Amino acid sequence: MNDETVKGLLRKAGLKVTNQRMMVLDIIASHPAEHLTAEEIYDLAKVNSPEIGLATIYRTVQVLLDLHVIDKVTFDDGFTRYELNGEESASGHRHHHAICTGCGKVYSLESDLLDSLEEEVMEKLGFLVTNHEVKLYGLCSECRKKNEKKEVMNREEREK
């Protein structure tokens, strides 16, 4: 989805194409996989437009959410984050996230392996799935290595 497409969506919705709106969109688009918070978007926006207000960021992400241009994500750290909607994936479904409980790093996954789960829900509950959100919590390879080292150290400590 490019700027022009979004401009079209804005107009179709009877909304105006403003510098602030396009700037927020571009900031989110140019930081893929970074899951920016409103405050982070605000700080980046201020670099080129120091007069912009934080309220504008909040109002703009709401507009972009309504247009399904972006999606909301949270990783239980008290912040709402925003990312481009993965509309490319025919299904319209969002991608998944793997969150490391060790270092907090977030990995984005593209796999769409929930089809069988969604079919099951349709059959058993008559529930039609239109979107999903998957978060995997665990340890990334780096943190697993660190943990192993720590365990070795603890063992040596104990065996003293």
Partner DNA sequence: CTGATTGCAAATCATTTGCAGTCAA
Partner DNA sequence: TTGACTGCAAATGATTTGCAATCAG
Does position 150 bind a second copy by CB under 8 A? no
Q: In what order do the strands lie in the sheet with 70-74?
A: 36-37, 80-84, 70-74
Q: Taking the CA of residue 91 as centre, how many other CA atoms within 13 Å lie in the half-sphere pointing to its CB?
A: 14
Q: What angle do CA 118, 104, 45 make, to 5 degrees?
A: 95
Tell me the two tokens of residue 112: 């769409």
Q: Phi and psi (nearest 5°) for 134? A: -125, 125
- Pattern of binders to a second copy over 91-130, x per CB under 8 A? -----x-x-xx-----x-x-x-xx-xxx-xx---xxxxxx
139 binds, among a second copy, DNA, none (CB under 5 to 8 A by kind): a second copy
From 1, 59, 87, 91, residue interacting with DNA (rule: CB under 7 A) = 59
Determine the interface stretch with DNA among 74-82, 95-103, 106-114, 151-159 (rule: CB under 7 A): 74-82
Binding site for DNA (CB under 7 A): 11, 15-21, 37-39, 49, 51-56, 58-60, 62, 78-80
